[in-house]
Structure 1
Amino acid sequence: MKKIIATMFMALGLNAVYAQHVSVEKDLVGVQAGLLGVNIYNEHRLSDAITLRSDASLHGGFWTGDIYDKTGFLLAPAISIEPKWYYGLNRRVKKGKNISNNSGNYFSLRTEFSPNWFVISNDSNVSNDYNAISVIPVFGIRRSFSRNFNYEFNVGYGYSTTLGRTPNSKGGTFWIRFKIGYDFFKR
């Protein structure tokens, strides 16, 4: 009789494990760094598969070659908001793959504002005398590893325009990023 009761409890426990609710994290706060910049972000859950990511970034750039006096770099600020749709979370769980810390593939619409607040550079001739705004549809892959660490790759093509410049510079813009990060806080 004891074996039957123990077996029933084990079976109920296994069903509870497989019947878990599949959802992205309620809130996720972290930092990511890549070859061309660093950002602090917050992803807030809007539904089981949709988050709203907001971040503050320092985007980087560099130049070198015969036409320049020296090799240079710059960092310029940007703020963005990005609704993300993590598709296939149920399929990832069924295959036994990790979805913690919003691990999964996603589509998003990145809207970014680059203000002319300041530029950090080793070249005093570099200035940021205009504001820019861009809207970019993005495909991305996010994976977590070693508890709170993550990496994220995303690519997209969209529209960008400068503000406060006559004539405005506008047209297509290409977006590609690979960053490694750490999640400080999640709920």
Structure 2
Amino acid sequence: MKQLFFLPVLLLSIFYANAQTNRLVEEGIFKVNALLPGVSYEVGVGNKSTINMEAIIGFALRGATNTETQFGIYPGFAADFRNYINFERRLRKRKNISGNSGNYISFLNQFQFGTPLIGNLEYASDYYYNAALVYGLQRTYKKGFYFSLAFGPGIFINEFDKVTGILVDARLGWVIGGRK
């Protein structure tokens, strides 16, 4: 019986101690992406670390003279673990860190289906997967506008091929619900 009581007390103590830490990242940020339409949620998991999860919609159009115009709308997902590396320096210079405005190193994963949800333009492969170790920056401004740019070496995989290269990922949009 004492063991059943001890476990919940221990877990509540850990959660209470974690809530009292001076976390530099936001607890949660909901963002709407305009450049590549979609939504993302970035949740703080440590003092300077977050997990960012995204659902995106890709669009492709193909057409030319004397050919049928084809289009497709493709679902995609992305997730990355971010470790922000310059919060202390930004604070010393009296710069903004709200909305997780800072530079980060991340392991980025992206997945997109090759079969469209809507439309008749099918890619050669049924899926596309990208994984990269990236250096990025994210800035959030007072009215909620944000941008993010990340780049780094990665691997690009589909059902036919594996290729290495440089991944460049750009986001532009708005934070919903404000910043701290």
Q: TM-score, normalised by structure 1?
A: 0.72
* Deviation string, structure 1 residues 112-132 (Cα, Å, up to 9, x no partner): 2223452555xx4x2145122
Determine which of 71, 76, 94 is the counterpart of 2:74: 76
Aligned-partner Cα distance in 2 for 1:79–1:178: 15
The secondary structure found in structure 2 opposite 1:91 is helix
Check whether the contact 2:115–2:126 (CA below 8 A) recurs between aligned residues: no
Alignment of 1:73-152 (within 5 A): 74-116=72-114, 118-120=116-118, 124=120, 126-128=121-123, 130-152=126-148
Q: Which residue type is aligned with residue 105 of structure 2?
A: F
* Deviation string, structure 1 residues 140-179 (Cα, Å, up to 9, x no partner): 111111332111112223112124xxxx221124322333
1:73/1:33 CA distance change after superposition, 3 Å: farther
1:116/1:74 CA distance change after superposition, 3 Å: closer
1:47 is aligned to 2:46: yes
1:39/1:156 CA distance change after superposition, 3 Å: farther
Alignment of 1:30-69 (within 5 A): 30-34=31-35, 37-61=36-60, 69=67
The secondary structure found in structure 1 opposite 2:89 is helix
Check whether the contact 2:42–2:53 (CA below 8 A) recurs between aligned residues: yes
Aligned-partner Cα distance in 1 for 2:70–2:143: 37
* Deviation string, structure 1 residues 31-70 (Cα, Å, up to 9, x no partner): 1121xx222101111111100011101134556788x948
Check whether the contact 1:107–1:138 (CA below 8 A) recurs between aligned residues: yes
Hey, what does 2:170 align to over in structure 1? 178
1:26 is aligned to 2:27: yes
Structure 1 residues without counterparts, runs of 5 or longer? 1-20
Aligned-partner Cα distance in 1 for 2:111–2:38: 14
RMSD of Structure 2 on Structure 1 (CA): 2.6
Percent identity among equivalent residues? 22
